[in-house]
Amino acid sequence: MTELDHHRAGQDDLPGRDPVLDVVIPVYNEEATLAACVHRLDAHLRETYPYPFVITVANNASTDRTADVAFGLAEEVANLRVVDLDRKGRGRALKAAWESSTADVLAYMDVDLSTDLDALWPLVAPLMSGHSDLAIGSRLSSTSRVVRQPSREIISRGYNLLLRVGLGVGFSDAQCGFKAIRADVARELLPLVEDDAWFFDTELLVLAERAHLRIHEVPVDWMDDPDSRVDVTRTAIDDLRGMWRMRRSMRRLRPDLDRIAATLGRGVFGAPLLRQIARFAGVGIASTALHLAGFVALVSMGMAGQVANVLALAVATVANTQANRTFTFGAREEHALRHHAEGFVLAALTWLMTAVSLGAVQALVRSPDTILSTVGVAVGAALSVVIRFLAMRRWAPSEGATGGPFPGVPTVPRERGGEVVRHSG
């Protein structure tokens, strides 16, 4: 059987109009559960979704009667199409279904419907209004209600923590099987996604974030499927390999991501810049506290103020540069030495400004105490913050920064739809 192709009912029943929403259900050996899932989802969409929609069953090279069940459902359920693949792979199934869809909004969810369907409209609405480019369900929100095994909870939180540390991502839950993306965004990003299995979702989200696209998060209620057949250990290993591959491939993908950002991304005052400022401020506060604490400790030990300032600043500079590389700008590891060297160049500016401030205090007060000296150093450090941010942000875009100014970005039409994506990691 061909890579994709079997389309029954559905779009033929939408005279003169393409569907706004396409909800994809990737399945593998789900002959026992598929019919109930399709009927429940179809009923929910008919009751709650006011625009034309289609449901797509992406049969992922099943070896049981799943394909026969899917084709039978297509004869009885209006607006149902079937994409039948002859090779296994969750990411491959989603690519095939999305690339063959004519909907403005592409969505996918698990056949077990672990996520409460009431979250579907809040998921796609920000995409249809033009507020966001992608949307993801998050089980890690404080308002989410989640029922699953403690071991899976620990694995999920550990994986997302690794993503934040290793790839500097800003989204909270890469693995939730409930996501959405606008069709025009999918057309740009899908050719760049290499993984055809479980890492597909994570890779798509990382690429979107590096292209400065806006990702909206929706808290979801989630109940784990007790009959899940996902090999957690194998999936975790594959995900770690995917993370390592992505770290090494960002430089190669940078031109494509910059092009996507210029076409679809947000302007200088968009969410990515605000997120960068917030992270830079957090790193700056922590490193300034480290600088001042080191200065106070060295002065208290009897060291001269200027010498103590230089030593404390050197330590704080290394910590600041590394934290901003990883957490704020997502820079590539290969350039760590160069970035640290350039960090010391910026630190020289900070040192000059703090030295002038400290000298001014010493000139005004013959024998300043530790508090006045510390205030002088703090004033100088604060004056250098803006210059440091602008300078470091100029290094970041070619190394995988998460934001940047792109003049002339077109406004997203408010009537456009978004798509729902789904990851099982």
Active-site positions read: 201
| Distance (Å) of CA 68 to CA 32, 33, 49, 57, 278 | 12, 13, 28, 12, 53
Place of tokens 């109930």: 36
Cα Dmax for the chain: 92
Q: Please, what's the b/e burial string for 379-412 (b: 16 or more CB within 10 A of its CB; e: otherwise)?
A: bbbeebeeebbeebbebbbebbbbbbebeebeeb
What are the backbone dihedrals phi and psi of residue 108, each rounded to the nearest 5 degrees, phi first? -150, 150
Angle, alpha carbons 361-363-365 (nearest 5°): 65
Q: How far apart are CA 16 and CA 365, in angstroms?
A: 82
What are the backbone dihedrals phi and psi of residue 114, each rounded to the nearest 5 degrees, phi first? -65, -30
Q: What are the structure tokens assigned to 311, written together?
A: 């030593």
| Distance (Å) of CA 284 to CA 306, 316, 325, 337 | 21, 10, 13, 20
* Kind of pairing between the strands at 53-60 and 21-27: parallel
Q: How far apart are CA 322 and CA 334, in angstroms?
A: 13
Positive or negative torsion for Cα 182, 185, 187, 193: negative
Q: Amino acid identity, residue 224? A: D
With residue 225 as reference, give the H or E element that holds it: none
Are 418 and 108 within 8 A, CB to CB?
Answer: no
